[in-house]
Structure 1
Amino acid sequence: MDPLKNYSEGYFFHCNETDFTLDYSGMVENKEKLLSSHSDLVNLALDTVQKIEKGEIVNKTEVTQESENRAVDHYNLRMEKELVEGKSLSISLKYNAKIVEEITPILKGELRAPNGQKYTDVIFNGIGGSSLGPYMLVISQYGIDYNTLSGLPMKIHFTSNTDPDSFSHLIKKLDLNTTILVSISKSGTTSETKGNLEAFTQILKDQGIEKIGPHMIAITTADSLLDKFAKKNQFLASYVMNVETGGRTSICSAVGMVPAAFAQINFEEFLKGQSVMDKMTRRTEVSENPAMIISLAIEELTHKEKHKNMIMLCYSDFLKEFPNYLQQLYMESIGKNYDIFGKTKHEGQTIFGGVGTMVQHAFMQQVQKGIKDCFVRFLNFRKRKSDFLVESSGSMGRQLLGFVKGTESALTKNNVPFFTTTFKMNNPFNVGMMVALEERIVTFIGAFRQINCYDQPGVQAGKLACKHFNALSKIVLNNLIEYFSNENNSFTGEAKKYFLQFAKTQEKQEFSEKEILGDSIFVDALLSDLDANIEIDKNEELETLVIVNTEFDSEEIGLLYKRFMKENPDGFVRKEDFYLIAEDFGFKDEHLADLLFDAIDTEGNGKVLFLSQEFLDLCSTISIIRRGKLDQKLDLAFSVYDVDGNALIERALLHNISKWVFKSSGENSIFQDNDEVQKYIDKVFDEYDQDGGINLEEFRIRFCKI
């Protein structure tokens, strides 16, 4: 590959309007092939974008437990047309203006803290996209020393990890009387964010600040647990984001607006930059669509040499956090083990990166001389706000450009493919373009590979496992508290002895001894927590697990919890008890209840732990039966009655399914009674049974009328 020759032959894209350039001369061997021989992939990708922007449900897969079954709206939030009601660039700009109008009096000291002093500090409390996006945005405009050099009216801080040491370090240097905590969580149940909020609340009260509202702002969905908590405690504000806005693409929502307002960043320009790039990457002509060029080139390389790591080299200290932001955007979106049809398919795109010349010293030896497992992306600005004379190169800016071009040349000699993207200068408009370009690349790659880019079951699995472990911790802790409340027991070595004995009894509750005893640090942490006087609220734990995955409200979750715990105070639901619970939630078919329980009881031991993935599946199943859409009920019915797992249902089982689906459909059914349904089944079975049964696709087509 000869990048110089390729560039001279037009292996680049340039936008005169924005002065943005994509140079793909070091990545693509055959331009004509890239631009003209992938029409199927191009059409698939553009069709996916159209579906997203029309508000269709795209966050779904055939693997029900790994699907959120919702629309995705980040493109709509900066789209000139209002294709989805209430979502467009103009509407987002108005909401941003409202936020700026409400934050400005805080910054100016017109709205003061309860002690009469001006607010001095704001902490942004979020995890994932709720933290990476705002932090990246602030760094992009002020650099790492944003509190020292920016001259902002309030100092800005970020907390995300569950780390008591760093949280303590932050709290100690602040005057909490003049500090605001901005908590960012769609549901209000995000463990890390919720934990930090609870800790901050307790610290305020410990310092004699009983009214927490004047020290709090929320960014969440309407009527979420966090929103309700904000209203109850009279927060300074509770700003709304949409359910359809995913965390890793939420920077264009209130998640980005509020931090930008406190940091006095022109977020209007950021949104306009995103809108311009979105418009550019909707183009059907591949040569005029930079996201399509990059996506197709990555796809060609993947097919030729399998998956390659992406190394992002950003030649500006202000883009220090951009690779970290991209890690979540790409790896959480593309890292999947199923395609949208439910077939096992392991996909991913690993990202490394950092600031240009510094990272070169970390990566380039291996990239150029070691294993060939990556491609490189250069990101730089055409113009700089400052420059200084350097005798050897003329200026510091020219020296920086020399590093870019020199590294490109070295990669060429060592047969390492690369892209170079150049934006005019560092400002909110171009950072908005930058983010929007990457979001579109992710969408296109996801469409090419037929995966759902907008769920994150792997992240959820970790959270559920954490809750399982926390449940264990609380059970053990409660028993230890009970033990030490007995004045005859002293806080000595007997404590650990009692704990070890108790640990063995927990095996009966499906907590393995390895989980409990595998780490002595955990034992010591539990013992030290005795002084923390932790209160147990299993009801709240259940809300955390269930409310975001079902159609239940808080009252119904409370009923579900009480019903489960009434029958099984040990924390398990057995099959015979499930029959009784099922009646409370709208179905009395014992045969169906039996099949449902067997489908969920993956261990086959006849019981389900109340804080487990099985329990969550059980709640989701009940939710679908009560309020699910017809297609959800059909999918559920098929999965339950496919007892042998061969993706086919036999005639006799079809009759059983129809009874339940007919009852669930009510007035929506075209049949007068169940006898008509049975006749229809026999007719369909006679017509379609080519392989011993009816498959899912045939089942959906022919039985949606029931």
Structure 2
Amino acid sequence: MNAPALWQRYRKHLFHDPETGLMLDVSRMNFPDDFLARMEPAMQRAYAEMENLERGAIANLDENRMVGHYWLRDPSLAPSEEIAAEIVETVARVKEFAAGIHGGTITAPGGTRFRRLLVIGIGGSALGPQFVADALGTAADRLEPHFFDNTDPDGMDRVLARLGNGLAETLTVVISKSGGTKETRSGMLEAQDAYRRAGLDFHRHAMAVTGAGSELDRTATEAGWLARFPMWDWVGGRTSETSAVGLLPAALQGIDIDGILAGARQCDALTRRRTTATNPAALLALMWHHATGGRGTRDMVILPYKDRLLLFSRYLQQLVMESLGKERDRTGTVVNQGIAVYGNKGSTDQHAYVQQLREGINNFFVTFVEVLRDRDGKSLEVEPGVTSGDYLSGFFQGTRAALHENGRESLTITIPEVSPATIGVLIALFERAVGLYAALTDINAYHQPGVEAGKKAAGVVLKLQAEVIAHLQGGGEPATADEIAAAIGRDVEVEAVFHILLHAAANPDHGVRIFAAEPLFQSQFGTAG
């Protein structure tokens, strides 16, 4: 398409909202002229479904739950006065608690003021808070944020090393809806042990975000933790950033949570519009449908041209892939739906994988995120009349043009700056786009049977590990994995037994020793004594 024709297409399809500054350009997606009209009946059904969802319809049928993250930004929409009151009260309590921490009226034992924050969570309980912390953090943060977001012992040791002698002034927030999530519980116990070894009382440094009556809620209550905040069953982890899950860490860090909520609320209003051309989330969902054939046949590459948005692709991986990656549609038909998401940042990508995007396999579409403001104040001229921000913008436009020239599809989201409000806009925009795309493809975006299956499988492995370790500790001569599996009646699981033995022998925790042989699977294992 020549330049004048492309400019006309740009003008025809550009979305711009003057109030938020949000822009969405879909002109470089190669949808045919009649595509939007053909999809309009399906879009109207999707709008109706989203309206029903916001009125309190049961969306997560597996757990008989509503899905109400939209109410978090506008409690007046909640289906009951009780829910609305809980939302308002929780935001007020978050602000009050953060003010107490910042003002020094809530302190660690001995009057030590809190200056650091350790957030313990997994998945949505960590990805959203991490994204917001990195996007909006400054040198003036009231608390310096750190995260336990995995069960990797070495990873936790690295975080604790960074905290160093500052553990005495570290506030820990444990986030888990059920309170029984193994990854989060492991992180909590590791943190508790670290405080103990430092001669500190963990309970006087800890607070919880969890479901009422959960295991974690009981633990926090009985031990007298500093505070507890609710995690409602109608808020899924991947859509929890505007609940206490995300607002509490952000407020403690010193981020303007009212700005995040306001931006999300403004975007929610935009994305309720039933006129598709003026609904940015609808346009996003339709572009996903066009690019992937409604079947996830292409990957979504996220390329934000801003360092502060580096973690955006990681945040979207969970939101998009956990919501849309489903084996069956709502009729039970096998569809293997989903859209894979990956990304880094520009212009780093000029020196990484843009080469493949332009000339390699065409199995993707790009979502550029452009930020207009470079920094507060003027920039240095790195060449006459050119700033480093000018270079960044040039690289963005050049990459976008180079991809288009080679028939690679892209869309561009533009925001005026990175601020609490625009981060709220981005969160709400993609949350709604996910819901609309799911409606278009007849899948349930609000359950996650695959995640639960993985958790159950991990439990099976740990049960098997207990049997293997008990057998070795019972004495006897060293034996191969085959022999040990046969001895405990687990012949069909010998590969899992072998991996358990390798891991146990590599660590001192269970007193297992390997007598190495080649090939490796003929090695024998026994106790270290």
Does the aligned pair in 2 maintain the 1:3–1:412 contact within 8 Å?
no
What displacement does 1:397 show? 2.3
Cα 1:277–1:90 shift into 2, 3 Å = farther
Does the aligned pair in 2 maintain the 1:2–1:25 contact within 8 Å?
no
Does the aligned pair in 1 maintain the 2:471–2:488 contact within 8 Å?
no
Q: Which residue of 1 aligns with 2:27?
A: 25
| Matching of residue 383 in structure 1 with residue 373 in structure 2 | yes
Residues 243-276 of structure 1 show CA distances to partners (whole Å, capped at 9, x for unaligned) of 1110111001001111111111001110111111
Letter in 2 for 1:59: N
User: How far apart in 2 are the matches of 1:444 and 1:502?
Assistant: 52
Q: Which residue of 2 aligns with 1:339?
A: 329
1:301-380 mapped onto 2 (5 Å cutoff): 301-303=291-293, 307-380=297-370
Letter in 2 for 1:522: H
Letter in 1 for 2:231: M
Greater RCO (CA < 8 Å, at least 6 residues apart): 2
User: How far apart in 2 are the matches of 1:295 and 1:87?
Assistant: 33
User: How far apart in 1 are the matches of 2:227 and 2:80?
Assistant: 24
SS at match of 1:115: helix
User: How far apart in 1 are the matches of 2:433 and 2:3?
Assistant: 22
Q: Which residue of 1 aligns with 2:66?
A: 71
SS at match of 1:420: strand
Cα 1:151–1:511 shift into 2, 3 Å = farther
Residues 429-475 of structure 1 show CA distances to partners (whole Å, capped at 9, x for unaligned) of 01100111111111111111111111111111111111111111223
Q: Which residue of 2 aligns with 1:34?
A: 35
What displacement does 1:232 show? 0.6
Q: Which residue of 2 aligns with 1:649?
A: none
Give the strand-richer structure, 1 or 2.
Answer: 2
Does the aligned pair in 2 maintain the 1:79–1:88 contact within 8 Å?
no
Q: Which residue of 2 aligns with 1:163?
A: 152
Residues 141-183 of structure 1 show CA distances to partners (whole Å, capped at 9, x for unaligned) of 12xxx5xxx1333322111111111212322424433322211
Q: Which residue of 2 aligns with 1:280?
A: 270
| Matching of residue 233 in structure 1 with residue 214 in structure 2 | no
Cα 1:277–1:25 shift into 2, 3 Å = same
Residues 18-39 of structure 1 show CA distances to partners (whole Å, capped at 9, x for unaligned) of 22211111114445x2332212
- 442, 450, 455: which one pairs with 2:434? 442
Does the aligned pair in 1 maintain the 2:323–2:447 contact within 8 Å?
yes
SS at match of 1:265: coil
1:687-702 mapped onto 2 (5 Å cutoff): none
User: How far apart in 1 are the matches of 2:142 and 2:13?
Assistant: 47
Does the aligned pair in 2 maintain the 1:51–1:58 contact within 8 Å?
no
Unaligned runs of 5+ in 2: 513-529
Does the aligned pair in 1 maintain the 2:481–2:501 contact within 8 Å?
no
Q: Which residue of 1 aligns with 2:522?
A: none
Residues 384-442 of structure 1 show CA distances to partners (whole Å, capped at 9, x for unaligned) of 33433232552222222211211121112101111111112110001100111111111
User: How far apart in 1 are the matches of 2:211 and 2:294?
Assistant: 44
What displacement does 1:303 show? 2.5
Cα 1:405–1:203 shift into 2, 3 Å = closer
Does the aligned pair in 2 maintain the 1:28–1:297 contact within 8 Å?
no
Q: Which residue of 1 aligns with 2:391?
A: 399
User: How far apart in 2 are the matches of 1:111 and 1:118?
Assistant: 8
Letter in 2 for 1:205: R
Does the aligned pair in 2 maintain the 1:113–1:177 contact within 8 Å?
yes
| Matching of residue 151 in structure 1 with residue 130 in structure 2 | no
1:558-569 mapped onto 2 (5 Å cutoff): none
User: How far apart in 2 are the matches of 1:153 and 1:218?
Assistant: 20
Cα 1:207–1:361 shift into 2, 3 Å = closer
Does the aligned pair in 1 maintain the 2:175–2:208 contact within 8 Å?
yes
The alignment covers a number of residue pairs equal to 506
- 488, 501, 505: which one pairs with 1:524? 505
User: How far apart in 1 are the matches of 2:78 and 2:370?
Assistant: 34
SS at match of 1:242: coil
What displacement does 1:88 show? 7.7
Does the aligned pair in 2 maintain the 1:388–1:397 contact within 8 Å?
no
Larger Rg: 1
Q: TM-score, normalization: structure 1?
A: 0.68
Q: Which residue of 2 aligns with 1:181?
A: 172
Unaligned runs of 5+ in 1: 61-66, 484-488, 532-706
The alignment's C-alpha RMSD in Å is: 2.4
Question: Percent of pairs identical after alignment?
Answer: 32
